[in-house]
Amino acid sequence: MTIALAADDVAEAKQALTELERLTQILSSSALDAEYARAQGEVALAAGRPGAALPHLRRCADTWRRLSAPYETARTGMLIARACRALGDEEGAQLELESARELFAELGAIPELRDIESL
């Protein structure tokens, strides 16, 4: 799905999302559920539907926080920031980016810190 989105192939990404949904129905895993929610949000963002993306992305971030997964929480925060910005919520976007920046700094994730600066 990530490759399809990078290639702007939303139709292919939606197909991959359907396959991921099937996996979540077969396997019981909080991490898999979080990844599915992230994927739903990313596909909605790519399709130009940031309002539809936010509930999925927030659910994903909440799950990663519960699982004590700071890297994934920060990555999801960057996506939430993109959705907020697309909806005209610059304050919300900045709050999400600052939170992600702090988590990445604690982890020493230098490439990701550079990615935040480009947003």
Greatest Cα pair distance in the chain? 39
| Dist. CA 93–CA 3, nearest whole Å | 25
Give Cα 63 to chain centroid, integer Å: 12
To the nearest 10°, the Cα dihedral for 111, 46, 48, 60? -70
Q: Is 114 helix (H, G, I), strand (E, B) or coil?
A: helix
Average of pLDDT values for 82-95? 97
Please write the tens of the pLDDT for every residue from 36-65.
999 999 999 999 999 999 999 999 999 999
Q: For 13-30, what is the mean pLDDT?
A: 82
pTM of the model: 0.86
- Rg (Cα) of the chain, in Å, rounded? 14
**According to the model, what pLDDT value does residue 75 have?**
96
